[in-house]
Amino acid sequence: MADDETRTSDPLQDRAQVRIFTLADYVAEEPSGRLYISGGGLEWIGVPTYPDRLSSFDLIIRLAFPIAIVRESYHIEVRALDPQGQPIGPDPLMQTEMRFDIHRLPDYASEISGNLPVRITDYPVTVQPSDAIFLHLVVEGILISRLPVQLRPADQ
């Protein structure tokens, strides 16, 4: 590449990669990193909702970071938004740091990955029990995935 050329950004090498971003009735993680997901879905998922809160569900996130951007921690957020992009409750829904021991990576590693199984219980909302919402997965301030979720009244 000539000095005056600029490198084109490659979204498969320059940002976090989503391996799993879904909801389930229950998830368990073994120390090995293996996930056991019960009642999971891939897209439109019905989440039981009361008039003022979402009932319990698990949020499963698995992210991979290409070796070109690997570092020891990443700030992760999930925002719950209505179709107009406004928060439906406390914002963000979830935030944490995903941490890695990068000194233990083998020389041949092409990426590092991690799981975030999160239990959400009684999240207060301002939407109706039958509305659609969108969960936005944000890594280091960059939106990397949206998950549409159809709410359903808890008695159905």
pLDDT in tens, 75-102: 999 999 999 999 999 999 999 999 999 9
51 contact partners, CB below 8 Å, separation of at least 6: 128, 129
For 99-109, what is the mean pLDDT? 92
The pLDDT tens digits of the residues spanning 6-51 come to 556 676 678 899 999 998 888 988 988 888 988 776 555 667 788 8
Query: What's the burial of 63, exposed, middle or buried (CB within 10 Å: 0-12/13-18/19+)?
Result: buried
Distances in Å between the alpha carbon of 84 and those of 46, 56, 98, 118, 146? 20, 24, 29, 25, 13
At residue 132, the 3 state secondary structure works out as strand
Amino acid at 34: R
Domains of the chain, residue spans:
17-153
Confidence of residue 4 (pLDDT cuts 50, 70, 90): very low
From the options 2.40.50, 1.20.140, 2.60.40, 3.40.50, give the CATH code of 17-153: 2.60.40
